Structure 1
Amino acid sequence: MYDEQQSETVNGNTPGTRRVETHSTDYIPGNERHGTVWQQAPFWFMINANVTTALTGVIGAGLGLGIVWSLVAITAGGLFGTFFTAFHAAQGPQLGLPQMIQSRVQFGSRGLVVPLAVVVLIQCGFGVFFVILGANSLSGMTTPHNGPYEVLICSTAAVIAIIGHDLVHRVQRYLSILVLVTFALVTVGVLSEVDLGGLVGAGGFAWTAFLAQFGASAAYQIALAPMVSDYTRYLPKETGTRRVVAMVFLGSLGSATWLEMLGATVTTALPHMDTVEAIRHYGDAFIGGLGWITLAVTLFSVIGVLPTTFYSAAINALSMVDAFRPLRPSARSRVLVIAALTALTYLATVGIPDHYLNSFSSFLSLLAYLLVPWTAVNLVDFYLIRHSSYAISEILAPGGGVYGRWGVRGLGSYAIGLAVMVPFFSTSLFTGPAARALGGADISPLIGLPVSALLYWLLMRGADLSAERDAIVRDPERLLALHDRAAVPVLGTFVPAAPGQATA
């Protein structure tokens, strides 16, 4: 797994000599699988354990939605989005591949490029917000010097992402304890300082505000779906589906609903104060200095979650290139792409004026809706059509192997699902006619997901999968050859190594 010469290996490493991960878009063989299911819970808890999540919870309150209805909308939206996101977790252990490259089966190796581009843009876009959040937190703790702080945060996150999967997991796991304790104290502080009786009586109910909060909470969780298997693919193949899905579900939903509820509460209580400042205010009121500690923990949480965006975005960017020019998985290619994406994220961070941030946030939310039909098609294929049985070497083969370059059924289901969603979009950038007729209520995920899922299921009922079944029979032998030290793998093409040549 790492760029090391080794004799006896654990996780592809000589114990105590871990360096830079060499896997990227390729298959993780059985002898390199490691980790336990419970480790997924703190990892996914930390993915959402930051103030950006709290800001997602203020949307309903900002539109006048009462706190009780805000909490209901946050919970319902979180459950909806996390339900589908968590079920991607089982694909990692079963297939040993990153999340998006698995979708070559449904969309084709080149047909997948558009969803891949959307995912890379979303991941780097969220990275921009994380960098800004971290720099603002550091400025609040010391003195304002956002430019150097942004360089420091981007560089630190890039190093963690470059070292790779295991370090990303380890950082998130250790930080989860610190974040859990800090935000627990802040929550107690908020509940002890806020007039809960008066809070419950404030605001009212409006479908527009309720569905806006529901949609935001759901989209925030669905935006995680394209990276789930990136962080479960090293688990042993025999990992139980229910257990890994449950750990991802509980970890991700727990932090998301908690912090979104916290954001809704402080915004309702102090509607004229910035949400981050309100959290700091209640922290300091409860325990002197807790607000400052919260800023410090926010900085650490950003440094923990930002590498996950760089890591997954790099894998997806490499997958895009590989669709047109086969690439050999290597540490070098992954490092170069991470460095490039880090630089682009930094340039976007310093180049976006503050008054454009709200529009940029709405743009990212709109892009997140583009993932709804993708997740529907991908999950239906895995659980209902192919029942987790794939020819993995064919997925990695140049030209898409038996799955081809263009998956007409998957692309058609995706396009139609997206098309029926558009009239129901309701954002600051675009509001469809159906959403206007509903008073601005956004129910697009409730429309697009079942439409794409049902259409793909119907289209696949008559599909001839005999060539795939034959390839599945040959798959173990081909996968063994893929990682044979006597061959240099180029995503499915096997080129004999020259005498004395080092192998990947």
Structure 2
Amino acid sequence: MSLPYAHGETAVTDPRHITAFDGRMPSAPGDLRVEARGITPVPEDARYGGPGRLFTVWFAPNLTMTGVFTGTVGVTLGLDFTTALAAVVLGTLLGAVPTAYLGTWGSRTGAAQLPLARLAFGGSVALPGALQWLSSIAWDALIGLFGGDALAQLSGWPFWAGVLVMLAAQGALGVLGYEAIHRLQTVMTFALAAAFVLLAVKLLHGTHAAQPATAHGADRAGAFVLTCTVALSLALSWAPYASDFSRYLPPTASRRRMFWCTLLGIGVSFVAVQALGLWGAAEFTDQTAHGVDRLLGGGVLGTFGLLAVALAALCSNAMNDYSGSLALQTMGVRLPRPVAAACAAVLGFPLVLWMHAADTTARFQNVLLFVGYWIPAFVAIVVVDWAARARVRGGRPVDLAEEAARPQPWWPALTAFVVAFAAAVPFMDTGLYVGPAARALHGADLAYPVAFAAALLVYAPLRLRRAHDHT
């Protein structure tokens, strides 16, 4: 499998690769024509925009009822509002920091996140690529569940019809690509922020905060850790997408500003919506859209709230479809990027119906955790590889063509990736499986930090030793 070089070339001259992976790029802010560009890096002379747009592109897609619904987890586990909120803030910060850091690589390379991972994984990048593609479909379902429900209630359609229209709209936006997504998120940042402020005001005046804690001692500690892990999983789920939405920024863009705009966009939005879920846990049951309509009193405000829920799902899932298309190409599938984006939306439909058909709460939490268990090891591996390359380069600017000339064997990254996941299994806590370590820790899910630490311990000695050999 070839690594795209820095100026549009690939490691092979097969025209099938060039046709599928290359293509038309947006040329400036507001260029809303279909982006055909796939995983081939964006040339420096085609870059545009500033770091400020990273705040809105990461803020708006998180103002979804998925985040609100996730926020109710701490209360259902028996935590009081203050303790649960502390867990949410801590978990969100832990997940947002690596995402913000990885996002700074986009302007430095012009490359998306999964294609960049080929530097570390070589041909074995097909495994994280497949997991990322499947994760994007799962997120379509997690978020489309609420967006489709809101649209169905708003229009009087059956649930399946609301979901179908929602997925069709997000697929169309994913087909349009990078600039259309950035532009929509800029507009929706203000519209959705207004909707959620209205929701917060209604909650504060009409709903009491969660009841006092019902979990105590070790059970309370376990519930705190699990709540933190769920919040972490939300923020960290963006990590394999991170540079996808900064790859058109010029190399002169301030990496410090890029980092902080991304961190604040993810952190503020996720903490806000989960805090709403914690405060109004009694209102936000499985029928979350109905809870929003009832809370806002129906009528014009209820309609506005339901429309906001639907539009928020559209914003978020368009990014899932976009990054899913790049992940599919990274696996070596020669589908044009717009076609691959549409496929992700189509495949999300049956998963939404499955989640809606039975215990939504249990299925939601299971899917949410399972789609992210692989990400900590992925982050650890690509960061170590990047650090090793920086050490060899001695501070010189990144050049993908030069980096591709120093290929890494595929087995160290793959070995660390598999070992890390295996090490995490005993610490997992889901409705489908509770590992012995998680059970002993009173439900505390430590799978994420365990996977990260295991990947570092296995991969770092192998990779840094090779870096030393090249110095």
**Global fold match (TM > 0.5):** yes
How does 1:387-406 map onto structure 2 within 5 Å? Answer: 390-393=398-401, 402-403=406-407, 406=409
2:206 corresponds to:
193
Deviation of the 1:30 alpha carbon:
1.1
CA contact (8 A) 1:160 1:167 kept: yes
1:239 corresponds to:
253
How does 1:260-339 map onto structure 2 within 5 Å? Answer: 260-267=274-281, 269-270=282-283, 274-284=287-297, 289-321=300-332, 327=334, 333-339=336-342
Deviation of the 1:350 alpha carbon:
4.2
CA contact (8 A) 1:208 1:440 kept: yes
Deviation of the 1:455 alpha carbon:
3.7
How does 1:334-373 map onto structure 2 within 5 Å? Answer: 334-350=337-353, 354-355=357-358, 357=360, 358-359=362-363, 361-373=365-377
Unmatched 5+ residue regions in structure 2?
1-6, 8-23
CA contact (8 A) 1:93 1:239 kept: yes
1:137 aligns to 2:140 (yes or no): no
Deviation of the 1:145 alpha carbon:
2.6
CA distance in 2, matches of 1:218, 1:376: 15
Task: Work out which of the residue numbers 227, 238, 245 in structure 1 matches 2:241.
Answer: 227
CA change 1:18–1:222 in 2 (3 A) is closer
How does 1:8-407 map onto structure 2 within 5 Å? Answer: 13=27, 19-108=33-122, 110-195=123-208, 199=210, 201=212, 203-205=214-216, 206-267=220-281, 269-270=282-283, 274-284=287-297, 289-321=300-332, 327=334, 333-350=336-353, 354-355=357-358, 357=360, 358-359=362-363, 361-383=365-387, 385-386=389-390, 390-393=398-401, 402-403=406-407, 406-407=409-410
CA change 1:164–1:208 in 2 (3 A) is same
CA contact (8 A) 2:277 2:284 kept: no
2:440 corresponds to:
437
1:481 corresponds to:
none
CA contact (8 A) 1:266 1:278 kept: no
After superposition, what is the alpha-carbon deviation per residue over 1:246-281, rounded to whole angstroms, capped at 9, x for unaligned? 1010001111011011001111x5587855444443
Secondary structure, counterpart of 2:104 in structure 1? helix
CA contact (8 A) 2:39 2:115 kept: yes
CA change 1:448–1:300 in 2 (3 A) is same
After superposition, what is the alpha-carbon deviation per residue over 1:189-233, rounded to whole angstroms, capped at 9, x for unaligned? 21122345xx46454541221111111000111111111110011
1:413 aligns to 2:419 (yes or no): no
1:492 corresponds to:
none
AA paired with 2:130? A
CA distance in 2, matches of 1:133, 1:338: 21
Percent identical: 23
CA contact (8 A) 2:426 2:438 kept: yes
CA change 1:141–1:14 in 2 (3 A) is closer
2:4 corresponds to:
none
CA change 1:249–1:464 in 2 (3 A) is closer
CA RMSD of aligned residues (A): 2.7
AA paired with 2:425? V
Give the stretch that moved more between structures: 296-305 or 385-394: 385-394
CA change 1:351–1:280 in 2 (3 A) is closer
> Number of aligned pairs?
441
CA distance in 1, matches of 2:286, 2:245: 37
AA paired with 2:62? N
Deviation of the 1:361 alpha carbon:
4.4
AA paired with 2:320? T
CA distance in 2, matches of 1:292, 1:282: 11
Give the stretch that moved more between structures: 18-27 or 172-181: 18-27
After superposition, what is the alpha-carbon deviation per residue over 1:365-409, rounded to whole angstroms, capped at 9, x for unaligned? 1230111111111123224652685541367xxxx75425x4222
CA contact (8 A) 2:87 2:225 kept: yes
Secondary structure, counterpart of 2:180 in structure 1? helix
CA change 1:48–1:353 in 2 (3 A) is closer
Larger Rg: 1
CA distance in 1, matches of 2:31, 2:198: 39
CA contact (8 A) 1:105 1:407 kept: no
How does 1:425-464 map onto structure 2 within 5 Å? Answer: 425-464=428-467
Unmatched 5+ residue regions in structure 1?
2-9, 470-504
After superposition, what is the alpha-carbon deviation per residue over 1:277-309, rounded to whole angstroms, capped at 9, x for unaligned? 444433339xx6433311111111112222111
TM-score (norm 2): 0.86
CA distance in 2, matches of 1:263, 1:276: 13
AA paired with 2:382? N
CA distance in 2, matches of 1:289, 1:167: 29
CA contact (8 A) 2:150 2:309 kept: yes
CA contact (8 A) 1:283 1:290 kept: yes
